[in-house]
Structure 1
Amino acid sequence: MTTPSPTRPKKPRSLLRRPDPDAAARLFCFPYSGCGASMYQRWPRWIGHVEVCLIQPPSRQNRIRDAHYETYEALAAALVEDLAPYLDTPFAFFGHCGGALPGVELTRQLDAAGLPVPRRVFVSSQVAPHDGPYGRLLEMNSDGLRDELATIITSLGGEPNGSLIEMGLELLVNDIEANKRYHVDAPLRLPCGITAIGWADDPEIPIQLMGGWLKSSDDCRYALLDGGHFEFLDAPAELLTEIELDMTDKTATPTPGDA
């Protein structure tokens, strides 16, 4: 008589792939506004000992039929339940621009629920919540957003065309509306460290605008990396080094002007 193999846990809908149960640490990555988890296709599966886990919000790609989350608070509430089985090892959140803020809200909700909190939140090209909402896309009309979507598709290696852009426009608009709704009057105090990442050739969110993160954590470190707004898509070595460093060591805390 054969012994049945243990049942593998079902992959949460909020993750593009099932995490490795033996991972020593995990980095949960949120997609950029208007995009899905596959935007991280050029990233490695592992950064040193850290497994890269891709979050897939509803209303895109394999979750195209799922209703949009509408607010970061609602998205975080769903993720608290979905990610709970995978918070059994040191973990962190990464997000770029509009994708950075859901990780902040999720950290707040995990802390409020008495659940494990991330070792670090990596925020790339985004102002602190009490300094926002901020960004060029937030003020664009539909024509401007169509042009922006074409730029995003090209940056991801795709070929923008009318049908693809029209299909993605509603998602981009809904993601931007969620960004607009997320504002706090006073700095959110996170129970973990923050690494605020700016890009030297990024006109969208210069690192000088990211000083508010210092008020959100007693352990806030700044890093200014080479490249423009979409440089992170290529998983540059500089970025991966910063992530691996902060998942293992404590470092000094320079101010934004010193970065």
Structure 2
Amino acid sequence: MTAPNRPNAPRWLPLGAAPTTQRRVFCFPHAGASAAVYAPWRGIAGDRLAICPVQPPGRAERFREKAFTSVDALVDELVADIGDQFTGDYAFFGHSMGALVAFEVTRKLRAIGAQPPKHLFVSGRAAPQLPDTRKQLRALPTPQLIAELKVLGGMPDAVINEPELLELFVPLFRADLTVNEAYAHRAEDPLPIPLTAFGGHGDPRADDDELKAWGELTADRFALHTYPGGHFYLEKKAGELIDIFAAELAG
């Protein structure tokens, strides 16, 4: 039996909602990215899992909608629109900004008495209870912002080298960076579900100690997996991540 789709579900789940009888992983994108970054993962997962990429406003087919600058507002609207999809054997995965969103959606579901995910997978972001001591990027002049994004990687050359595309993308990046950088952590009880963190060696946005600190946020099992490749290590390690997703949900 599938959960009934609400009218706004296709906006958030552009590749479709999987049956709630299936094991599903809802995947939240990093700053500036769209649900499309996870589309190839569906083929890698095969019939083991349904990969369900989440599409926040301000990008792709939702580009005319204003991007959120507050994680609380984003989470509230997402749960109101597609909260009925979060049932059965499901998990959340988020990379960078997406890790923060996945974490806060999980806490929102607990707050309203809804079923939490079976597992929370986070990637490429310092644990949210830690102070953010890094350079703030959201208000940098555009040339400096682009230079910083180039260092991190993950931004297509087609965008970097095309002024008209950059003009469209920079406001989205600034909004997403604001979600991440203006976040104020609220202390709550640890989550009652297993939590796994992933990261890349030498990631300038999340070192090993900052990834390990995610373990403080669960009262259940915690694991950490790190790989070569910096902030966007997952571009080459998607298969290994999906194997872990499948093993955890099957177990």
When normalised by structure 2's length, the TM-score is 0.85
Query: What is the deviation of 1:134?
Result: 5.5
Aligned to 2:165: 164
Shift of 1:13: 1.5
- Contact 2:49/2:246, CA 8 A, preserved across alignment: yes
Displacement, 1:12?
3.1
Quote the Cα distance in structure 2 between the aligned partners of 1:121 and 1:181: 22
- Do the aligned partners of 2:137 and 2:145 also contact (CA within 8 Å) in 1? no
Distance change (3 Å), C-alpha of 1:108 and 1:213: same
Whichever residue aligns with residue 241 of structure 1, its letter is D
Q: How far has the Cα of 1:205 moved from its partner?
A: 1.4
RMSD value over aligned CA atoms?
2.5
1:77 positional shift: 0.9
The answer for the alignment partner of 2:49 in structure 1 is 50
> Equivalences for 1:68-83 in 2 at 5 Å?
68-83=67-82
Q: Conserved in 2, the CA contact under 8 Å of 1:198 and 1:224?
A: yes
Q: For residue 68 of structure 1, report the CA deviation from its aligned partner.
A: 1.9
Mapped partners of 2:74, 2:204: distance in 1: 28
Structure 2 equivalent of residue 202 of structure 1: 203
Which protein is bigger by CA-based radius of gyration? 1
Task: Tell me by how many angstroms 1:228 deviates.
Answer: 2.5
The percent of aligned pairs where both chains have the same amino acid is 29
* 1:122-137 alignment runs, 5 A limit: 122-133=121-132, 135=134
Counterparts of residues 15-34 of structure 1 (less than 5 Å): 15-21=13-19, 23-34=21-32
In the TM superposition, what whole-angstrom CA distance separates every residue of 1:212-248 from its partner, at most 9, and x where no partner exists? Answer: 2121002211112233321213453222222222222
In structure 2, the gaps of 5 or more residues are none
In structure 1, the gaps of 5 or more residues are: 1-7, 250-259
8 A Cα contact 1:31 1:99, kept in partner = yes
- TM-score normalised over the length of structure 1: 0.83
Number of residues of Structure 1 aligned to a counterpart in Structure 2: 241
Return the offset for 1:201: 4.3
Identify, as 1 or 2, the structure richer in helix: 2
Distance change >3 Å, CA 201–CA 237, structure 1 → 2: farther
Alignment-mate amino acid for residue 51 of structure 1: A
Distance 1:104 1:173 in 2: 21
2:203 alignment partner, SS class = coil
Corresponding residue for 1:35? 33
